[in-house]
Amino acid sequence: MKDLKLKQSAEKIFPEQLEIFKNKFDLTLPKSYEDFISENNGGYPEISAFDNPNEDGSIINVFCCVRIEEPELDFLNPTPRLISSKSLIESHQILEKNISKYLYPFALDEGGGKFCISMREEDFGSIYQVFLDGTVDEPVYVTDSFENFINGLEDPSIYDVD
Spatial contact of 87 and 70, defined as CB atoms under 8 Å apart: yes
Q: Which residues contact 61 (CB under 8 A, 6 or more apart)?
A: 44, 48, 107, 108, 109, 110
Domains of the chain are 6-155 (3.40.1580.10)
DSSP state of 65: B
Name the pTM for this structure.
Answer: 0.89
DSSP labels for 91-117? IIIIIS--S-TTEEEEEEETTSPEEEE
Span 67-109, pLDDT tens digits: 887 655 555 555 457 889 999 999 999 888 999 999 999 999 9
